[in-house]
Amino acid sequence: MLAKFKNTILEIIFPIRCVGCRAEGEWFCGNCAAKIVANEKQFCPICWSENSGGRRCENCSSALDGLRVAASYRENPELARAITTLKYKFSKNLAQNLGSVLANSISQKNYSTERVVVPVPLHKKRRRWRGFNQSELLAQSVAAKLNLSLADALVRTKNTAQQAKLSRIERIENLADAFEIAPDFDAKNKTILLVDDVASTATTLIECAKILKKNGAREVWGLVLARG
């Protein structure tokens, strides 16, 4: 209550402005979202060698079949600000505009299997603390824009330390057994689009992919806004 009051006061003194063009009223406006330069190059999520669509290359093995990174910070400095804002401000509108950036980076060819959009989950304690999961908001937006079904297919069972502060080896150890399949989700023969805001290494996505594959998913792709 007090925090809400404080926010309202702050918004009167410092109105919400777009992190791109400074226009008042939105955190990241539709015009700026539409101007994001999409990545032409994609990379294997394991060895990061360049390839056309982001599919994992033949030399690498992983439960994760591929990764689409929508855009780069270098070409779109405002994207970093928009992603940071989404972490701390619950804003459906911001999530929707960033969801368009994600949806635009996916090819619309015909798929033979059912595709399901799945957010990378937060542990329930952290979700409660923050009040929302930004990946969930993004996944909702992507599913709506691409007309795909959405499922909370994964549960985070371990309240892991923040990945960003850890080395690669520590990240892998930190995430071991961190996820489980949701009891009511049937992954069999489905193609899963795992949505997260950013990926620095693909460690989190790979851990999620392992669980989904173990439960019968046919393909698992990651979909993120940028490499963090």
Binding site for Zn ion (CB under 5 A): 18, 20-21, 29, 32, 44, 46-47, 57, 60
Query: For Zn ion, which is the closer residue by CB, 9 or 60?
Result: 60
CB 44 to Zn ion: min, Å: 3
Rounded CA separation 25/28 (Å): 9
Query: For Zn ion, which is the closer residue by CB, 57 or 80?
Result: 57
Query: For Zn ion, which is the closer residue by CB, 20 or 222?
Result: 20
Note whether 27 and 84 are within 8 A (CB): no
CB 45 to Zn ion: min, Å: 8
Note whether 69 and 227 are within 8 A (CB): yes
CB 59 to Zn ion: min, Å: 6
Query: For Zn ion, which is the closer residue by CB, 99 or 119?
Result: 99
| Cα angle value 104/144/21 (rounded, 5°) | 50
How much of the chain is in helix, strand and coil states, percent to nearest 5? 35, 20, 45
The residues near 199 (Cβ < 8 Å, ≥ 6 apart) are 45, 67, 69, 205, 222, 224, 227, 228
CB 121 to Zn ion: min, Å: 26
Note whether 209 and 179 are within 8 A (CB): no
CB 207 to Zn ion: min, Å: 18
Query: For Zn ion, which is the closer residue by CB, 46 or 106?
Result: 46
Helix 92-104 to helix 77-88 angle (10° resolution) is 140
